[in-house]
Amino acid sequence: MAQIHEECGVFGIFAKERARLAETVYYGLFALQHRGQESCGIVVNDDGVFNVYKDDGLVGDVFSRDIIDGLGEGSIAVGHVRYGTTGSAGRVNAQPIVVNHIKGRMALCHNGNLINSVDLRSKLELEGSIFHMTSDTEVISYIITKERLTSPSIEEAVNRAMDKLEGAYSLVIMSPAKMIAVRDPHGFRPLCIGKTENGAWVAASETCALDSVGAAFVRDVEPGEIVVFDRDGVRSIKDHCGGKRSFCVFEYIYFARPDSVVDGCSVHEARARAGEYLAKEHPVDADVVIGVPDSGLDAAIGYARQSGIPYGIGFIKNKYIGRTFIAPGQKTREDKVRIKLNPVPSVVSGRRVVMIDDSIVRGTTSERIVRLLRDAGATEVHMRVSAPPFLNPCYYGTDIDSRDHLIACRYSVDEMAKIIGVDSLGFLSIDNVKRIAEGSANDGVCCACFDGKYPTAVPDKTAKNRFEGKISEGRKK
């Protein structure tokens, strides 16, 4: 847990006519790749027959031209990119989940994390349900399927299921005749809808995915809303709307792509605003402001704009290295950081540098990055962080399930500065992090990982691998 990992990304398209939709979903997932690099999948609805392909790896590696073509034509398709916050990595937990039941079929894509998944799963198992995955997404699929057996429609089943689901979930669901977009009542995770020139409806985690397939943004899905797309048009169910909004503020700080607009707020502008607040809260005499790619760049621009200190490109990031790669030989961790990031000596050598990053988790990565700047000739390094210190676990989808490895839980700011090796260290205040968003997002954000004020009850069992233990016990027996 050297750094915070992304969420998952969901995408779906409902077209008026049959078409080769897998290619459209592919482009949408490619735009959402930053939200998850473990696995990905696409399901195409071919007149009620679900053609599915999913596997470990990045979108560009998993889907070849032959695989895309093999998924055929259809009028509805959904896709998913995954970084798991519940359940291990691996093809077994790849999404979309496809369920066949007595009333038909369903494909489900999920972004978020349930806080009552353990209780729900235990109850289902006692009723005879058999689980094949170790993620909370399968729990959601079981709850919806169970409700579908006594519901007149898939959307009513989803509506009833929402009475039982607690926590964060943005869903894109496909039945043989419908596509459904769902957002939890708190609106923890983003979800928006758009429309293409030929009249196809698109649902996606971020607007950047709409842009990638030529869809015009229509609106965000409201917290608690169920949006149904079918041959009769588009309709909305708002039985669960009206609660207190608790959008994850870290979407603006790190998760979302800077060219996206989430709940009416430009992600780029939110990050730049965070940098401006940092400059006001933690000014320093320096020669250049640089950002740690990628999410530190926008905040660095804001810091430079407010402080009047020139902005410079201090690091070059190797764009051809994913989140995981094979290091040559017995290289050290410092070498791995250098392979991904390399300082620009002409920008930092002999200068007092303000380095902006989005967060500090364990501090180990920050320490190595600072060492790169020192080796490149920086005379001073002043680190500014566009988020408050992480002090609490997150139960809504961010990959922090414990306080054990959080450096801010064990050391003061001055102690952290010495450990990381910077001349000074400053974090954005909680008051100002709540102010970086504009638009409807201003109605309420979740900052529980910073201030401990959780908008829901706190679950007892929170470990990412909480369902793996049950499988291990079964194998021992």
Q: Which residues are catalytic?
A: 8
Measured CA to CA, the distance from residue 423 to residue 186 in angstroms comes to 40
Packing angle between helix 413-420 and helix 364-375, nearest 10 degrees?
A: 50
Pick from 370, 361, 387: which is nearest to 290 by CA?
370
3-state DSSP call for residue 249?
Answer: coil
Pick from 391, 374, 375: which is nearest to 383 by CA?
374
Work out the end-to-end distance of the chain between its first and last CA atoms, rounded to an integer number of angstroms: 32
CB 24 within 8 A of CB 59: no
Q: Is 124 left (phi over 0), alpha (psi -120 to 50) or beta?
A: alpha
Degrees to nearest 5, angle at CA 69 with 65 and 72 = 160
SS3 sequence, 319-333?
CCCCCCCCCCCCCCH
- Residue 334 Cα to chain centre, angstroms: 27
Measured CA to CA, the distance from residue 316 to residue 298 in angstroms comes to 15
3-state DSSP call for residue 339?
Answer: helix
